[in-house]
Structure 1
Amino acid sequence: MPPTIRPARPDEYDEVARVWMNSWVSTGLAEASKFLLAQLRARVPHEIEKGWSLYVADDGGTLAAMLALHIPNRYLDQLFVAPDYQGRSLGRKLLAFARQQMPDQIWLRCVRENEKAWRWYEREGFVFEKEAVEPMTGFVMKYYRWMKQGSAP
């Protein structure tokens, strides 16, 4: 059975942070560390307070992926698939779920060096809009937008 997408529970936030870190590390853009894990663990509840809708892909009790949406802003903030689950179309399933939540328009940002991710978003119909430096991290971010056919910007 494929993993089930459902809202994350507060008791899972530490495991969500671990999936997030391991997936981010798999890009080659960071190294796993207790410090990075602590940063992400702190960020999960903070972002939920700021409006995240946080979902997980649950594979029989194992968290296979995390998806963080800011629905009022039509913003896909984070989509990370655990390394063991990459290459199984789970990202595509999460993106389809995001489009159900935000059916007219979605925008997102990708780190420029994460070429695998932004090329995937381009294949999934997202259109590049601009690049800008993220002051908090120093990463150059690529901004993308997807619009349903016939939707006004």
Structure 2
Amino acid sequence: MTARARSVVVRRAESPGDASDAAEVWLRSFAAALPTVVRAHSDDAVRDHFRQVLVPLRETWVAEAGGEGVVGVMVLEGEELAQLYLAPEWRGRGLGDRFVALAKEHSPGGLSLWTFQVNAPAHRFYERHGFTAVEWTDGSGNEEREPDVRYVWRP
């Protein structure tokens, strides 16, 4: 982990400002990591979802880097790692590792998650953290209609 990543504070998202900042990270990250995936929702709908659902009703965490503000977001829903997105310039600096460690702490019995089949970097990342691919679909069960894969981690 880089010294810069160690100086980042990871905390629960609480405010409307956190929701707005987390949504912007999600939008930038999705565009950078998944350029071929057609999003099911507009930018404004994503922002509304963070403001109305994810921050007030889910276990949403943000990573905040001093003067840069929010640079990462993670959402846990029980034993599901529902969202993990980093600002593109923060990928590969250990921040994702911190989020996964936190998710495992909060769900010590195990975790599952979905990622798109085209997201090979995510596959490598989760496999490096002990997750195993257990199910592949044609995408008919997700809003984007994009083939996906389910990963599971069990201690």
Structure 2 CA distance for aligned equivalents of residues 109 and 135 of structure 1: 10
How large is the RMSD of aligned CA atoms in angstroms?
2.0
Closer, same or farther: CA 109–135 of 1 in aligned 2, 3 Å: closer
What residue in structure 1 maps to residue 58 of structure 2?
Answer: 52
Say which of 132, 136, 143 aligns to 1:136: 143
Structure 2 CA distance for aligned equivalents of residues 41 and 2 of structure 1: 27
User: Do residues 109 (structure 1) and 101 (structure 2) align?
Assistant: no
Structure 1 CA distance for aligned equivalents of residues 108 and 81 of structure 2: 12
CA drift of 1:46 comes to 2.5
CA drift of 1:48 comes to 4.9
Say which of 122, 126, 138 aligns to 1:121: 126
Q: Could you say which structure has the greater relative contact order, defined with CA pairs below 8 angstroms and 6 or more residues apart?
A: 2
**Cα deviation digits, residues 104-140 of structure 1 (max 9, x gap):** 2000000111111112111111011011223421011
Residue ranges of structure 2 left out of the alignment (5+ in a row) = 1-5
Residue ranges of structure 1 left out of the alignment (5+ in a row) = 149-153
TM-score, normalization by structure 2: 0.84
Say which of 39, 44, 62 aligns to 1:38: 44
Say which of 17, 21, 24 aligns to 2:27: 21
User: Do residues 96 (structure 1) and 135 (structure 2) align?
Assistant: no
Structure 2 CA distance for aligned equivalents of residues 138 and 23 of structure 1: 19
Is residue 21–residue 36 contact of structure 1 (8 Å, CA) maintained in 2? no
Structure 2 CA distance for aligned equivalents of residues 4 and 36 of structure 1: 29
Is residue 29–residue 114 contact of structure 1 (8 Å, CA) maintained in 2? no
TM-score, normalization by structure 1: 0.85
